[in-house]
Amino acid sequence: MQLIRSAISIFASLILSTSTVNAESELPDIGGSGYSIITLQQEYNLGRAWARLLRGQARIYEDALVSQYIEDLTWSLVSHSQLQDKRLEILVLDNPTINAFAAPGGIIGVHSGLILTAQSEGQLASVLAHELAHLSQRHFAAQLEEQRRNRPFFLASMLGSLLVAAADPEAGVAAIQSSMAASISSRLSFSRQNEREADYIGMQTLTSAGYSPFAMSEMFTRLQESARFSKKPPEFLLTHPVTQSRISDALNRAEQFPKDKSIDNTLHFNLVRARVQANYAKDKTPLLKKYQTLQETTDNDDVRYAIAYTAIKLKEFELAKAEISKFSKEFSNKLSARLLRAELATEEENYSSALEQLQTLHSLYPGNHAISFLIADVYLHANQPEKASEVYEKIVQNHPNDSRAWYLLAESYGLEGNIIGVHEARIEYFLLTANVDRAIKQIDYALKDPNITESEKARVEQRKKDALVIRKSLDLRY
């Protein structure tokens, strides 16, 4: 929690220093949206610093199939949005609470619990479209401009509160409530204006991408119902209040859009939702029985997949095989079904079969996150750490901010005896999670290694310089 508390002062110092510089120069933000107080690049830098702190405090969701689905869904919306700066970073957090947020500089965070609340892909997409609208309209810069003469610490405290909420929901509720209570009425009015604009532009994005405009009001209703039967409101509702008038506005607005056929509750969404439900179920047996009861009236690939995946988690492998054998011919050839068969083989410890399946998929879908993480894990189980390292190296090459991949790369390097590789991967992991002191210690350990080569030494020394720059970005005190 100390790191979280320091985050608020970090953001405050960054915002205050930005405000001072721009107030003196009064230069416009060329290429921005009319906000002179903070530039697009400053927003980007702020967001990346905040993301490091977030990774250090909140758990990243480990099911790569779920994470890739959220990323793919978000990017499918981006092409239909008004977002100009597309340097996005999408973080799926291992948190069963209902929350999603956008932070300056293209950071979008989604709690895995939001997938459980949504009942269709359109409903989930409506939340993502709303967050993209906050980014495209630069509402953080607008909020900061509004508060420049009133409460310059407000945006800093709200960003700090979001960080707290991601790591500790109980503390997050209190922190956000405190921030909201401290704001003046004009700021609340300004926030409502931002929410209305994000709703409007988000619905445009949603419908342009092919989803029903009514998905947004449906999701608002779901969120309102979740709050009604909960002892404490979801974090999302504290920063995005849902009222009956807002639901009515969304319904009225949806009526103005064409009633063309739109994307329905897609199969992929149902599969992802089933995985999240099984992963969070403390007792998976009742969940399995629920699916089996549903199957009596609705026997389709969605339900068969849910039964098979839950059965795998319960190590009821014969049941899983039976359900997989019932997949329709069309679905059986889809990536989701083929990955599930590989997961089953892995859980049965039939690593040769799992590798054979995954190697084929890896060649067909190069760069696929879910396949890459699965095959690397099987390589480790099959005592082939060198091959696992090759896969993880490819992941971090394409996704250098993937802290989980760096962590696992360090583990695989350790198993293969690549000591300098362990040092370098750990350094990257610590820097990505705002643990700069630990990164510097790891750098010092690496430099003391008697077997380090000159090229490796030069590379590690450069990372020490980079670490000092990162530390400054995390603790700007002007």
Give the active site residues. 131, 199
CA–CA gap between residue 141 and residue 30 (Å, rounded): 14
The rounded distance, in Å, linking the Cα atoms of 439 and 441 is 5
CA distances from 427 to 203, 258, 373, 402, 406 (A): 42, 52, 21, 13, 9
Give CA–CA dist 462/17, Å, rounded: 28
Cα gap 406→425, rounded to integer Å: 6
Helix, strand, or coil (residue 137): coil
- Return the sign of the alpha-carbon dihedral for residues 427, 430, 431, 435: negative
Please check whether residue 87 is in contact with residue 104, taking contact to mean a CB–CB distance below 8 angstroms. Answer: no
* Chain centroid, CA 72 distance in Å: 11
Beta strands 89-93; 107-111: pairing state: parallel
Q: How far is CA 55 from CA 164, 375, 404, 442, in A?
A: 12, 24, 10, 19
Give strand pairing partners of 111: 93
Residue 240, both tokens: 């995005």
Centroid of chain to Cα 320: 30
Spatial contact of 179 and 157, defined as CB atoms under 8 Å apart: yes
What is the SS3 string spanning 19-70? HHHHHHHCCCCCCCCCCCCCCHHHHHHHHHHHHHHHHHHCCECCCHHHHHHH
Token representation of residue 89? 């970073």
| Residue of 331, 299, 306 whose CA lies nearest to 320 | 306
Distance of CA 276 to the CA centre of its chain: 14
How many Å from the N-terminal Cα to the C-terminal Cα in the chain?
A: 24
Q: Is residue 422 classed as helix, strand or coil in its secondary structure? A: helix
Which residues are within 8 A (CB) of 333 and not within 5 positions of it... i.e. 6 or more apart? none
